[in-house]
Amino acid sequence: MKAIKTLIAAAAAALVATSAQADIKIGVILPLTGPASGLGIPAKNQVELWPTSIAGEKLQVTVLDDATDPTNGVRIARRFTTEDKVDLIVGSVATPVGVAIADVARDTKTPQLALTPIGLPPGADAWSFRMPQSNGVMATAIINHMKDKGIKTVGFLGYTDAYGEQWLQAFTPLAEKAGIKIVGVERFARTDTSVTGQALKLVAAKPDAMLIVASGSGAAMPHKGIVERGFKGTIYQTHGAASKDLMRVGGKDVEGAFVVAGPVISPAQLPDSNPSKAV
């Protein structure tokens, strides 16, 4: 949140330099409905805590629902940039939508603050700024934890979309370098209600650990599916799953799992020496 306010303030300063006393228009694109709404609704609540002005300039903030659909996200982004003439786009918290919005940001030269760890090729990221930690940073933390636990084999169960694919791309070379073998890769859609087939295949491969790549409340279903198929090893979840929804929906089945996350998830547990605690 502090980083977002800082970047908004920077945008305000740039705007003041060219147009005195002009309102700053911010278009926020979030999944308030659809599979990623468990992340979008809390994000909307955070937006409501934003100040009404920065650097003496009034903020005009419009929040619209992308419904966890990249097509909707692009349509809203184009409306924001061509009709509303926003100075800044914020969103989405769904990776496929955030990636799609980045194309509009680049085409229209409108800064985008992505609230999801989007991965963009060089040249496509000039106008997009990722707020969460990258998948590579978080994958490194998981690999280091696996090495400490002596894990040698892992099964991968992730979304079919950009979040799952980008995590697999980040995780695979790190696992190979650490001597950890990926013995199975299975996918599922955000809208799926069961992963029975995928879980049976992965459990049959007998890995030491499982990595589930999903987000919000959607991370609980595959986790429960793995446990219900009899898996007794260690289960890891990504920072997309670092929410109370995982515990609320997963219940006892997610006990003992490891979820990689930034310090904002549990600030009270940080030592006083940690530079992020005061923030």
Q: Per residue in 6-49, pLDDT tens? A: 555 555 555 555 444 579 999 999 999 999 998 999 999 999 99
pLDDT confidence of residue 266: 86
Q: Which residues contact 243 (CB under 8 A, 6 or more apart)?
A: 38, 39, 42, 216, 217
- The letter for the amino acid at 102 is A
The domain segmentation of the chain, as residue ranges, is 2-130, 135-265
Q: Which residues contact 40 (CB under 8 A, 6 or more apart)?
A: 30, 31, 32, 33, 65, 66, 68, 92, 93, 94
Judged on CB neighbours under 10 Å (0-12, 13-18, 19+), 182 is: middle
Global pTM reads 0.86
Pick the CATH number of 2-130 from 3.40.190.10, 1.10.150.20, 3.40.50.2300, 3.40.1410.10: 3.40.50.2300
- The letter for the amino acid at 258 is F
Strand arrangement, sheet containing 112-114:
53-54, 57-65, 24-30, 88-91, 112-114, 128-130
pLDDT confidence of residue 246: 93
Phi, psi dihedrals of residue 43, rounded to the nearest 5°: -65, -40
pLDDT confidence of residue 14: 53
pLDDT confidence of residue 21: 58
pLDDT confidence of residue 18: 46
133 and 263 Cβ atoms separated by less than 8 Å? no
138 and 239 Cβ atoms separated by less than 8 Å? yes
pLDDT confidence of residue 216: 87
Paired with 59 in beta bridges are 24
Q: Where are the beta strands (DSSP E) in 70-152?
A: 88-91, 112-114, 128-130
Same CATH topology for 2-130 and 135-265: the answer is: yes
3-class secondary-structure state, position 255? coil
Low-confidence ranges of the chain (pLDDT < 50): 18-20
- What fold characterizes domain 135-265? Rossmann fold (3.40.50)
pLDDT confidence of residue 22: 74
And the tokens for 273? Answer: 């020496």
